[in-house]
Amino acid sequence: MLKTGVSPKRRRAVLNERQRLKMAESAHAYVRGNTAQFYEWLQSKSVQATLPAGPDVWICGDCHTGNIGPVADVEGAIDIQIRDLDQTVIGNPAHDLLRLGLSLAMAARSSDLPGVTTALMLEELIMGYVAGLNGRFSKMSSKDLGPIRRVMRQARKRRWKHLAEERIEDVEPTIPLGQRFWALSKRERSEVQELVDRESLQGLIRHVVGSEDETDIRLLDAAYWMKGCSSLGRLRYALLVGVGDKKRAQYRLLDVKEAIPASAPYSKRAKMPSNNADRVVAGANALSPFLGERMVAAKVARKQVFVRELRPQDLKFELERLRRAEAIAIARLMAGVVGRAHGRQMQTADRQAWAREIKVQHKKDLNAPRWLWSGVLDLVALHEKHYLEHCRLYALGSSDHS
């Protein structure tokens, strides 16, 4: 690896290899990285015929456990919300429940938990979702949320210096090039400078720093950012911006990410923005207002992008080596987050009707509805098979050449 990272000409090959290896790390990682397989399964006529038809609302579209976590607003308040909206569309909320159910089941498998735990997790998923849907969501309602409590405590303590130590060179206003951050070409540097000079982005920066009259906004450094799993290979930049007088400057780190057409199924009746970046920002405002208010749609090199201001409190829950009680409680909590995000978009009558609809078709020996249980069973079997094949094709080949 060069000190400046990977050259622009080699990015695609390196990113493709990194994505393949990352997906081979575990079955749960494979699910996070292979959204296309989920959408392909979901859009089959036989599957669609079994699903309850929910009201048209903004959904996450890629609602796995890694996309739910603590998020801060511009005032510093922290809440657990959906934190990645690349695939957001107006569609059937049942799709988010299936995606979350699959992700939770694979997290349980990665923690070597027995199958009965997965059954209990899906029961709690429905109960938590309905509670959130009806406004009865409590993000810290259980004593069994050890992994959640630890991350939330960490989020509340974090400040700019913690983000700087992780993402940039200590608290100095430069981005260190190397493993994760790669040097930009002259053309790319010019394009991101143009982005920072635009009024739309400067308006976002003024909003997040709380100074609507601020005019001294400067691009200090920028780099290509190797980040994510399913999104690896898309245009992605990290921008370090200085705001205000140089002696007392505030720093802001911006994440610039290419917006591509959504693969998630959407309602044919939906009126969504035709611009993909506008779609992502609209979905974020509907589902995760703390995140949405820190985002703006833009263009870089004729590509649609959305820009998000990063906060040190924005963290991911790492669900590894879970105990049974933790896994069950986390299923309820995460489903409650999703239920609240969906429910805030519905009228009372629609919420009540949807809550009744998703609970139909219960099996006699299981409180989770049949459509959810059967769907997750099919998806787990499908992903297990393709995960092993993925490992044979890519992980073994990588080991042979190491």
**Position 169 in a domain:** no
Same domain, 91 and 126: yes
Is pLDDT above 70 for 163?
no
**Mean pLDDT, residues 49-58:** 93
Share the mean pLDDT of the chain: 85
Contact between 106 and 27 (Cβ < 8 Å): yes
Last residue within a domain, chosen from 286, 309, 332: 309
Domain that holds residue 94: 8-157+315-400
- For the four alpha carbons of 240, 297, 36 and 80, in that order, the dihedral sign comes to positive
User: What confidence score (pLDDT) does residue 401 get?
Assistant: 41
Q: Hey, which of 138-147, 268-277, 354-363 has the most confident mean pLDDT?
A: 268-277
How distant, in Å, are the alpha carbons of 72, 78, 111, 257, 318 from that of 151? 13, 12, 19, 25, 9
Q: What are phi and psi of 169, to 5 degrees?
A: -80, 95
DSSP string, 98-163: HHHHHHHHHHHHHTT--HHHHHHHHHHHHHHHHHHHTT---TT--TT-HHHHHHHHHHHH--HHHH
Same domain, 100 and 83: yes
Instruction: State the Cα–Cα distance between residues 16 and 72, nearest whole angstrom.
Output: 32
**Mean pLDDT, residues 158-164:** 60
Q: What is the pTM of this model?
A: 0.87
Band the pLDDT of 172: cuts 50, 70, 90.
low
User: What confidence score (pLDDT) does residue 170 get?
Assistant: 47
Q: What are phi and psi of 255, to 5 degrees?
A: -105, 115
Same domain, 153 and 214: no
User: What confidence score (pLDDT) does residue 347 get?
Assistant: 95
Band the pLDDT of 402: cuts 50, 70, 90.
very low
76-80, 162-166, 194-198, 368-372: the lowest-pLDDT one? 162-166
**Position 263 in a domain:** yes
Same domain, 55 and 193: no
Same domain, 244 and 210: yes
User: What confidence score (pLDDT) does residue 144 get?
Assistant: 46
**Position 125 in a domain:** yes
**Position 51 in a domain:** yes
Number of domains in the chain: 2
- Give the closest residue to 263 by CA, choosing from 107, 53, 43: 43
Last residue within a domain, chosen from 251, 276, 309: 309
Same domain, 270 and 333: no
**Position 2 in a domain:** no
Band the pLDDT of 202: cuts 50, 70, 90.
very high
Contact between 28 and 34 (Cβ < 8 Å): no
Is pLDDT above 90 for 273?
yes
Residue written as tokens 């799709």? 95
Is pLDDT above 70 for 362?
no
pLDDT in tens, 14-29: 888 888 888 888 877 8
pLDDT in tens, 108-151: 988 888 889 999 999 999 999 999 999 886 554 444 455 666 66
Same domain, 362 and 382: yes
Same domain, 333 and 299: no
SS3 326: helix
Last residue within a domain, chosen from 309, 330, 362: 309
**Position 331 in a domain:** yes
**Position 301 in a domain:** yes
**Position 162 in a domain:** no
Q: Tell which wins on pLDDT, 92 or 2.
A: 92
Same domain, 276 and 332: no
Same domain, 327 and 302: no
**Mean pLDDT, residues 372-391:** 89
**Mean pLDDT, residues 237-254:** 87
DSSP string, 173-242: SSPPPSSSEEPPPHHHHHHHHHHHHSHHHHHHHHHHHT-TT---EEEEEEEEE---STTTTS-EEEEEEE
Same domain, 26 and 90: yes
Same domain, 282 and 343: no
